[in-house]
Amino acid sequence: MPTLNWIGKAAVVTHHKDVPFRLLEPVPGLSVGDAESGNIIVQGDNLHALKALLPRYAGQVKCIYIDPPYNTGNEGWTYNDNVNSPEIKKWLGEVVGKEGETLDRHDRWLCMMYPRLVLLKQFLREDGAIFVSIDDNEVANLRLLMDEVFGKRNFITSFVWNTEGHTDNQFHVKVNHEYIIVYAKKEGILSLGSVVDPNTREESNLWKGYAENSITKNGPVNPPSKVTLPAGFPAHMPDTDLPATLYTRELIEDMTSCRLTSSGLKRKHNIEFPIRMSELVVRDGKLLRPCTVYSGWANVKKLRTFIENKFAPLDEGDGVKLEFFLKGKGVIYYIRHRKEASNIVTVLRNFSTTEQMRSEIEAMGLTFKYPKPKELIKYIIC
């Protein structure tokens, strides 16, 4: 697997082991709330803070979110964002040695990030995940760095956060996005929870806890086949009498050899799917007599199991139940019931802005130029 290399890497790959453990010193004058709540704010070098917290929290953290320096080159911000502060220079001199004097800002950034990510990985539970905010300055390096520390197979996604930033500047391309990179401790057992993107349309079935869709899917990956629906098959439709479909041999040839999509077949043959090879009669919410239908299908194996089980809902695990039924003009649908719905999308929109969050902070008498909106952080951790 390709790996990332930079000047100073050899000096930092095991540096986390050399960082001494420290005791956290409480400051009663700055403390609020219940001392036994477990909530802690630590002020100081985060490398030292992580090593101090590690004995207590190693392997216990489900979710980590960090907002490291973006390395924009801006030295006049709240923090030095050129990885060029006296503290970093001193640290590089001690850890990397004279090589540290010649590093460019990307080498310095990678030296700074590596031991911190290694320590953060040790905090994660087996089913935990880490979320890292970043922008275009270091996103490529961060991906390669996290591939090395967390394992490429544990990459989950790159969220693109639409920052709704200023677009009235003079740049050729107005940048109004950042990234949130997500890695799991172990991808195979990670569960991101039951989360519905708040921008999901109000009428979506996701809010109702189920998904519903037709299983008629003609196309290259859905070879057509016959399915016989027995008497008693569920039908969510009024009493209906539908005759057998009039179809041609050319249609069957197109379905079996050309593998056209449903829309292409409809345009060419002016026909609806599935094809009814016998009449379809529905009475009182059930199929009155057997009916054989022909089409390409999705979930056809599960449909056959549903029929074999005499229409008992199929258990798909994690509280998910799957059922099939007829609807409309004899189209077969599935309905997948969930205990809790989930619809996580990679583009994050309408989570407030840094400008709005800065105004909230200033109303508290505090100053910070580019804070992440609390709505965004809440979405990630909740």
The H-assigned helical ranges of 217-353 are 249-253, 262-269, 300-308
Look at the block and give the residue holding tokens 């057997």: 290
The overall average pLDDT reported for the chain is: 87
Compare 236 and 102 and report the one with higher pLDDT: 236
The pLDDT tens digits of the residues spanning 156-211 come to: 999 999 998 666 667 778 888 999 999 999 999 998 877 888 888 887 777 777 78
9-29+40-189: which CATH number, 3.30.70, 3.40.50, 1.20.80, 3.90.550?
Answer: 3.40.50
Name which of 200, 203, 179 is nearest 66 in CA terms.
Answer: 179
Residue 34: the pLDDT is 85
Give the DSSP H or E segment for 65.
Answer: strand 61-66
28, pLDDT greater than 80? yes
The mean per-residue pLDDT over the stretch 57-64 comes to: 96
The DSSP secondary-structure symbol of 231 reads T
E strands, 146-193, in order: 155-162, 177-184
1, pLDDT greater than 70? no
The pLDDT tens digits of the residues spanning 286-297 come to: 999 999 998 888
Compare 79 and 329 and report the one with higher pLDDT: 329
**Structure pTM?**
0.72
Residue 102: the pLDDT is 62
Residue 296: the pLDDT is 86
- Residue 54 near residue 122, CB atoms below 8 Å: yes
d(CA 366, CA 362): 5
Residue 166: the pLDDT is 66
* CA angle at 372 for the pair 367 and 376, rounded to the nearest 5°: 145
Query: For the chain, what percent of residues have pLDDT higher than 70?
Result: 90
C-alpha 280: how far from chain center: 42
> Reading across the β-sheet that carries 240-242, which strands appear in turn?
240-242, 280-283, 286-287
d(CA 21, CA 46): 12
Amino acid at 137: N
C-alpha 375: how far from chain center: 17
169 Rama sector, left if φ>0, alpha if ψ -120 to 50, beta otherwise: beta
Domain assignments of the chain as residue spans, ordered by start? 9-29+40-189, 210-337
